[in-house]
Amino acid sequence: MAGGSDAAETLSCARCSNPASLQCPKCVQLKLPREGAAFCTQDCFKASWSSHKSVHLKAKLSSLGTDGAGGQNSDLASEGWLYCLRKGQSRTPKLPPFNWTGSLRPYPISVKRNVPAHIDKPDWANDGVPKVEPNSDWQHRVEIKTPDQIERMRETCRIAREVLDAAARMIRLGVTTDEIDRVVHEATVAAGAYPSPLNYHFFPKSCCTSVNEVICHGIPDARKLEDGDIINVDVTVYYKGVHGDLNETYFVGNVDEASRKLVQCTYECLDKAISIVKPGVRFRDVGEVINRHGSMSGLSVVKSYCGHGIGELFHCAPNIPHYGRNKAVGVMKAGQTFTIEPMINAGVWRDQMWPDGWTAVTADGKRSAQFEHTLLVTETGVEVLTARLPSSPDVLPWLNK
């Protein structure tokens, strides 16, 4: 609690009704009425906190337009911006009720972006339902790519990297995640490619933007990036019949030291995991390497989501768990392509799902970070197909040390 109120009038303590001169700093920040936010002593404030803090939540929900009172989000709704529900299959003009784990809330999303007719599209582009992928033999066997497939994947992953770099250049205060999605969509289409996430199992956008406590699959929306945020942008493109997938986590403005360490440690987890990739290594060993480094830093490794095979299918065998003591089967062989994409949390590893059916958040509301590459196992080691380019923006400060 910050100091005295500058109010000239005499206020009563919200707890005991005695004359009060102290004010709840959060209420001041939210510009709430002084009545009901004043306290006579620190003890009264602390004793009232468990019930008083609900005032802050109600104010935040109201600012998001949940009261239907002609605010910004009401204006957005009239332009087709609505909240996402049921994995993208329905929309609503009001914020859905939910026991949010952290301070982040969903905002309305814009209408689906169009892809030109000349762009080659995956089989879910029109109706949201993958047809080939779920029943493919490659869900149970790890494909060895042909030289032609490998060359096409190199091209596709290069495009994916350039698209992510375009998104990275957009990261700054006041930019909405929807604007980032627009850049991803336009850059992908300009390269003659299709944004793989768009309408995949009805996902409504062309990339994933996961802010602060969002672990993965955050949906780009009308929220503006704020000072101190961290944001992961996950890009996948479909070109010449194959997919390329990568993501990175970025800083927005002045980020606290704990978040900086979280993001850097997550990058290091991926880097260390990639360093062991070569023929003969067990898939399960990837998780051991990541878990060891994350745990040594006092962080936790998400168990609900894993790396995956990729190529002509967006997701296929092998599954690559990122946690220790996992039961992944099989060994790496030259010609295999897959992603490694550790998600590392500042608190517990467990997650919850938002009402949109896509956004996975930390169960305790603490922050999460992620990095991802698409990899090719070679005869002697590994080729990072989505590696950073000389032209990639300088946005990861530890790489300059």
Instruction: State the pLDDT at residue 204.
Output: 98
Average pLDDT, the chain: 91
Q: Do residues 167 and 184 make contact, with C-beta atoms less than 8 angstroms apart?
A: yes
Q: What tokens does 17 get?
A: 């009704």
Instruction: State the pLDDT at residue 7.
Output: 35
Least confident of 50-59, 77-86, 370-379: 50-59
- What mean pLDDT do residues 105-125 have? 98
Instruction: State the pLDDT at residue 57.
Output: 56
Instruction: State the pLDDT at residue 79.
Output: 78
- Give the CATH architecture of domain 131-382: Alpha-Beta Complex (3.90)
Instruction: State the pLDDT at residue 352.
Output: 98
Distances (CA, A) of 292 to 73, 178, 270, 287, 351: 44, 36, 12, 8, 20
Instruction: State the pLDDT at residue 11.
Output: 78
Query: Would the annotation count 155 as a binding residue?
Result: no
Query: Would the annotation count 56 as a binding residue?
Result: no
Q: Phi and psi (nearest 5°) for 48? A: -95, -5
Query: Would the annotation count 312 as a binding residue?
Result: no
Query: Would the annotation count 133 as a binding residue?
Result: no
CA–CA distance, 168 with 269 (Å, rounded to integer) = 21
Query: Would the annotation count 372 as a binding residue?
Result: yes
Please write the tens of the pLDDT for every residue from 294-312: 999 999 999 999 999 999 9
Q: Do residues 63 and 55 make contact, with C-beta atoms less than 8 angstroms apart?
A: no
- What mean pLDDT do residues 53-66 have? 54
Query: Would the annotation count 221 as a binding residue?
Result: no
Query: Would the annotation count 293 as a binding residue?
Result: no
Please write the tens of the pLDDT for every residue from 197-225: 999 999 999 999 999 999 999 999 999 99
Residue 386 has pLDDT above 60, yes or no: yes
CA–CA distance, 242 with 173 (Å, rounded to integer) = 34
Place 54 in a pLDDT band, splitting at 50, 70 and 90: low
Instruction: State the pLDDT at residue 72.
Output: 56
- What mean pLDDT do residues 252-259 have? 98
Instruction: State the pLDDT at residue 71.
Output: 47
User: What is the gyration radius of the CA atoms in the chain, in angstroms?
Assistant: 23
Distances (CA, A) of 147 to 137, 140, 234, 335: 20, 22, 27, 8
Please write the tens of the pLDDT for every residue from 269-280: 999 999 999 999
Please write the tens of the pLDDT for every residue from 183-199: 999 999 999 999 999 99
> What beta strand segments (E) does 144-301 contain?
194-195, 208-211, 214-216, 230-239, 242-251, 300-301
Report which of 202, 204, 195, 196 is spatially closest to residue 128, judged by C-alpha positions.
202
CA angle 260, 262, 267 (to 5 degrees): 95
Strand order in the sheet with 300-301: 300-301, 343-345, 368-370
Residue 17 has pLDDT above 90, yes or no: no
Pairing between β-strand 382-384 and β-strand 373-377 as defined by DSSP bridges: antiparallel
